[in-house]
Chains A and B, each alone.
Chain A
Amino acid sequence: MIEVKGLVKHYGSKRAVDGVSFTVNRGDILGFLGPNGAGKSTTMKMITGFLRPDAGTALVDGHDVTRDPVAVKSRLGYLPESAPAYGEMTVEEFLGFIAETRGFRTSETRSSHVERALGLTQLAPVRTQTIETLSKGYKQRVGFAQALLHNPPVLILDEPTDGLDPNQKNEVRTLIKNLATEKAVVLSTHILEEVEAICTRVIIISQGKVVVDETPSQFRARQPGARLDAIFRSLTTSSE
């Protein structure tokens, strides 16, 4: 579903992403880990077509993001970091706008997709509230609803559980797990337990390079008995 081939991105003289390659299949939930500034978000932004890679490319459902970004964008749902949204719109208006740009032009298909997204993310109680008045947890869910709305085969989620309380985190994880059976999901996170809880694969990226690409159980087996964050630390600090 997602094929990432040698992505490179420079910011000035800094090589933020340095030849990242991996593939994600249908049914996979890929946990994307790494210290802050390792290039996680930049890699994700290149897969979504928001940033243009300096070299390499990504294929989403067979479409090359550098050649046909619009085809890629219509096949993926993306939750950007901190879930930006047009704050002056109500939840309903905002999702209606997303539905319309996603090609649901008749009012019936539009409202059925909006209702589905509202239901999946349990946003119904705040549907008529403007987004700027919502709490962080609800804002995050609005971002989630927007990404899920068109039922895309590929989901890219940049820190989907960031800023949520433990109950909400649990809900979001269950939701991702349920959705992932017929989708390819890439999610970035700082929470190592999250990877164990829901991911079928883990990639650790450090200084723009992939240093680990394996299953969570293989990852744990690297240092049996050690805490996950200890393994993470030894992998991401050794190169400095």
Chain B
Amino acid sequence: MSQITPVFKREFFGYFRSPVAYVFLVVFLMASVGLAFFIGGFFKANLATLESFFVFHPWLFLFLIPAAGMRLWSEEKRTGTIELLFTLPITTLEAVLAKFFAAWAFLTVAILLSFPMVITVGYLGNPDWGVIASSYLGSILMAGSYLGVCSLTSALTRNQVISFVLSVLACLVLLFLGWSVFNGVLSAVLPVWAVDLLANFSFATHFNAFTKGIIDPKDVVFFLSLTGFTLFLNVVALER
């Protein structure tokens, strides 16, 4: 496992060697804060909470995380560097974990760079810091699960566009399963228990509790196990 460190470092700092990182960070922050202000009514609500900021994260991640994750493996395949990587003394699992953790760390940086929002509510009001902390935790965990899906789809193709489309679709399914409107449609054809079961596989269902300040081990386990499962499939896809 000691081989994870050099690959992690290369990947993580690799983001900042190209303009990709800066474009991503700016777009992510503008979109997340913009949604909170203009759609979520952050100011109008006159409440010292960040709920209107976090509520859009599942939807924002749907497009932004595939954009960040689509190149993970398809780029290596396209440029042939995968041949270089896998002839270094490193196992597939180490490589998958190193690349995943580097991308996750990058996304965590992006999420945490929204800290001026926290300062704002702290300055203007008296927010519940526990809720803010749990929302950040939930958001970071959810980002990991999205990224796991994207890393997997990226390992399936050398084409980044296909990788992006596949991961958006997969994430869309995982998100919609818990969306009330979609569940309403489903309940017309499926029994309630089946709809509940499906909703349990959704990002949104498990993320909501975090934004209310509840850290339920069930939700933490869901995100971590979904991430672990997609990374396991990722290893299988690469060793095929």
Q: Which residues of A come within 8 Å of B, CB atoms?
A: 45, 48-50, 52, 70-71, 73-74, 76, 78, 80-82, 84-89, 97-98, 100-103, 146
Contacts and interface: CB of A to CB of B under 8 A. Distances in A.
B191 interface: no
Contacts of B5: 100
Contact of A86 (B6, B14, B87, B89): B14
B83 A98 contact: no
Interface centre among B6, B14, B79 (most CB of A within 10 A): B6
26 contacts: A48-B87, A73-B87, A73-B90, A80-B83, A80-B84, A80-B87, A82-B80, A84-B79, A84-B80, A84-B81, A84-B83, A84-B84, A85-B84, A86-B10, A86-B81, A87-B79, A88-B17, A88-B18, A89-B10, A89-B14, A89-B17, A97-B6, A97-B10, A100-B6, A102-B88, A146-B84
Contacts of B80: 80-82, 84
Interface string B1-40: 0010111011000100110000000000000000000000
Contacts of A103: 89
B7 A101 contact: yes
B1 to A, nearest CB: 12
B3 A101 contact: yes
Contacts of A88: 14, 17-18
A146 B239 CA distance: 24
B86 interface: yes
A70 B90 contact: yes
A98 B7 CA distance: 9
B6 A70 contact: no
Pairs A-B, 9 closest by C-beta atoms: A84-B80, A100-B6, A74-B89, A80-B83, A88-B17, A73-B89, A78-B87, A84-B81, A101-B88
Interface in B40-87: 79-81, 83-84, 86-87
A70 B79 CA distance: 23
Contact of A70 (B10, B84, B91, B239): B91
Contacts of A146: 84
Considering residues A49, A78, A101, which has the most beta carbons from chain B within 10 angstroms of its beta carbon?
Answer: A101
Which interface class (under 10, 10 to 19, 20 to 34, 35 or more) fits B? 20 to 34
B34 to A, nearest CB: 30
A56 to B, nearest CB: 19
A101 B95 CA distance: 11
A69 to B, nearest CB: 8
B89 A101 contact: yes
B85 to A, nearest CB: 9
